[in-house]
Structure 1
Amino acid sequence: MLFGAILAGGVGSRMNIDSMPKQFLPLGSKPIFMHTLEKFLLCDRFDAVYLGVHADWIDFVKEALSSVGLADASVRVVKGGADRNGTIMNIIEGIESEFGASDDHIIVTHDSVRPFVKLSTILANIEAMNYCEACDTVIPATDTIVCSEGGEFIDSIPVRSTMFQGQTPQTFRISSLKDVFASLTEEEKETLTDACKVFVLKDKPVALVEGDVTNIKLTTIMDYKVAQAMLEGGVE
């Protein structure tokens, strides 16, 4: 079975907006997360779509879903975790509680603040699971990447042609993700910034799926302004 998982459990601290986390800010006529959710609902291959939401905002999300006729029967809302991977694991727990555990279960995870993801990108992630246990959406790096351990001097400049910028979706066979995550030490878990790194830390292959430059992540106020301009310009 195939499951969508939209990660909306963060507090959006880097945008410095006190009123609400960034994923719930309005973009056009609806919250940012709703644009993202609609892209996933366009994919008729999902058996269910889950939203992992910070506990303080579950009622807000459920009211927003109800206002457009999306009850829990269409979209499942679960409590987010302490971090990104915690939210993914909570969603997996919800999946297995309702549908049982299976080696065939696949989960397509996506940032709620990437509202311009294309259906073709979601489908490419799904197709990649025919030959891998995990895949990551990426685009080639267009700027030179500079590495610096201390932030004062350059330590190295990698060859740009081997560099990619990570996006989402990130897609996993659930049983493999659980197994690899369970093998991590607490120290290793503290270094994680995304779920694909779980596989990288354990030398497990992660396939690359081509992303799109319009699949931006809304992290800062400038990103938010760019997204508004994109929407006004007809980018969906």
Structure 2
Amino acid sequence: MEPDVSGTSPAECVAIIVAAGRGTRAGGSLPKQYQSLAGEPVLRRTLRLFASHPAVTAVLAVIHNDDSGLFADTARDLPKILAPATGGATRQASVRAGLEALAARGMAPAIVLVHDAARPHASPDLVARAIAAARHAAAAIPVLPVTDTVKRLDASGVVAETLDRARLRTVQTPQAFRFDALRAAHGAAAAAGVDTLTDDAAVMEWAGHLVATFDGEAGNVKLTTPEDMARAAGAPLSALQDVRTGTGFDVHAFGPGDHVMLGGVAVPHGFGLVGHSDADVGLHALTDAILGALCDGDIGAHFPPSDPQWKGASSDRFLAHAVEKVAARGGRIAHLDLTLICEAPKVGPQREAIRASIAAITGLGVDRISVKATTTEKLGFTGRREGIAALASATIRLPLEDA
């Protein structure tokens, strides 16, 4: 049985960002991690996610030896960023280089997260889920259900078998591990000449460890091709002339608990919120606002509360789904505005964290996200401190052909 590190302090978690690849399939004159996405390098968006996360103490990027100048410019002024390590010829070698660099600096965190530089849209909640999973397992990875039918082909290209997709999952990062176990597994694999494993979970499997899973995010895509880069960047707003606005409203009652989820941030409170999912009123209202602008139903139509798979689900998945619906129509979100209505907890101290969380989920710049809070002057159910309400609006822009 793997040791339980449930008492792990947040100060004992370091993120390794794998950024040593050349990314030639993405095209362009720069490696994809340094190409611009919504006005800033892909890698900077990824670094900022982990550097701003309260449970991550330090961030180590593993880069190509030729990219030191690019990295210095990309990481400028971000907190918690360590001097980068130099990567190897393969992803496996690069991660091992990062682990050994931490050890050489006298750092032996209880938990290490390994994340692809080219996944800039992971959310703070996904990072939190990764850390929570690693507190109870030597290895834990984010996964998504496979929705397409999968066939196995024989050598001639003829279908040999239809696989049971109910047991299949696609795998993402950040992957979470006990530092000592992952370092030992990488060392053993290198000593044995095993150097073709494609992710760190495979290294741990090879070394005999069990690998746990936790829920991934549909929006946490890896940018690989020019089409991926273009889809992530979106068309210029000026080219999207069909401007639409949608509104969303949500309410959840207080119940037992010690925190509430607001905009993807766990806010300490004497109560929790009651709901089929994690009851994040802010993300629910924003999701409905975007779906409303698309004229595409509401959150209940896409994620029915009668469906047990959404029991306790993290609401960032709902918002990411709505964002993907906009992108699938060739559009972009121009602005999000969220008002939280409650007597308590106080939203002001959490405002910037909530804005940053929504930015990470949606891929928007923080300057396009507004978060406000108000009370009802002690009137009504929010005034009696029975629950929280949220009102949201979303402005989206679509190609005129969609009009």
The question of a shared fold, defined as TM-score above 0.5 by the shorter chain, is answered with yes
Matching of residue 32 in structure 1 with residue 26 in structure 2: no
Deviation at 1:78, TM superposition (A): 1.6
Deviations 1:183-233 (A, max 9, x none): 337776233111111122244210101011100100111111111125942
Deviations 1:61-87 (A, max 9, x none): 112223xx237x634312112111211
Counting matched residue pairs gives 230
Deviation at 1:155, TM superposition (A): 2.4
Q: Which structure's CA Rg is the greater one?
A: 2
Whole-angstrom CA distance in 2 between matches of 1:97 and 1:119: 29
Letter in 2 for 1:170: Q
Asked if the contact 2:51/2:58 (under 8 Å) is kept, the reply is: no
Asked if the contact 2:100/2:183 (under 8 Å) is kept, the reply is: no
Q: Which has the higher contact order (CA 8 A, sep 6+)?
A: 1
SS of residue matched to 1:6? strand
TM-score, with structure 1 as normaliser: 0.89
Whole-angstrom CA distance in 2 between matches of 1:106 and 1:8: 20
Cα pair distance change 1:130/1:220, threshold 3 Å:
same
Matching of residue 153 in structure 1 with residue 187 in structure 2: no
Query: Match for residue 48 of structure 1?
Result: 58
SS of residue matched to 1:189? coil
Select the residue among 63, 81, 87 that pairs with 1:80. 87
Whole-angstrom CA distance in 1 between matches of 2:83 and 2:70: 14
Deviations 1:82-111 (A, max 9, x none): 11121111111221122344xx53110111
Select the residue among 4, 21, 44 that pairs with 2:31. 21
Query: Match for residue 200 of structure 1?
Result: 205
Deviation at 1:42, TM superposition (A): 2.2
Moved over 4 A (4+): 185-188
Select the residue among 78, 101, 113 that pairs with 1:70. 78
Asked if the contact 1:5/1:52 (under 8 Å) is kept, the reply is: yes
Query: Match for residue 145 of structure 2?
Result: 140
Show structure 2 runs of 5+ residues with no match: 1-11, 235-326, 335-361, 364-403
Letter in 2 for 1:10: G
Whole-angstrom CA distance in 2 between matches of 1:29 and 1:15: 17
Query: Match for residue 218 of structure 1?
Result: 223
Matching of residue 91 in structure 1 with residue 94 in structure 2: no
Pick which of 179-188 and 38-47 moved more.
Answer: 179-188
Select the residue among 16, 22, 30 that pairs with 1:11. 22
Whole-angstrom CA distance in 1 between matches of 2:213 and 2:202: 13
Query: Match for residue 59 of structure 1?
Result: 69
Deviation at 1:129, TM superposition (A): 1.3
Asked if the contact 2:189/2:195 (under 8 Å) is kept, the reply is: no
Whole-angstrom CA distance in 1 between matches of 2:163 and 2:216: 21
**Greater strand share, 1 or 2?**
2
Asked if the contact 2:96/2:187 (under 8 Å) is kept, the reply is: no
Cα pair distance change 1:191/1:85, threshold 3 Å:
closer
SS of residue matched to 1:215? coil
Asked if the contact 1:32/1:115 (under 8 Å) is kept, the reply is: yes
SS of residue matched to 1:155? strand
Cα pair distance change 1:151/1:134, threshold 3 Å:
farther
Query: Match for residue 333 of structure 2?
Result: 233
Cα pair distance change 1:95/1:151, threshold 3 Å:
farther
SS of residue matched to 1:233? strand
Query: Match for residue 109 of structure 1?
Result: 114
TM-score, with structure 2 as normaliser: 0.54
Asked if the contact 1:52/1:78 (under 8 Å) is kept, the reply is: yes
Deviation at 1:47, TM superposition (A): 2.0
CA RMSD of aligned residues (A): 2.1
SS of residue matched to 1:199? helix
Asked if the contact 1:132/1:206 (under 8 Å) is kept, the reply is: yes
Cα pair distance change 1:149/1:41, threshold 3 Å:
farther
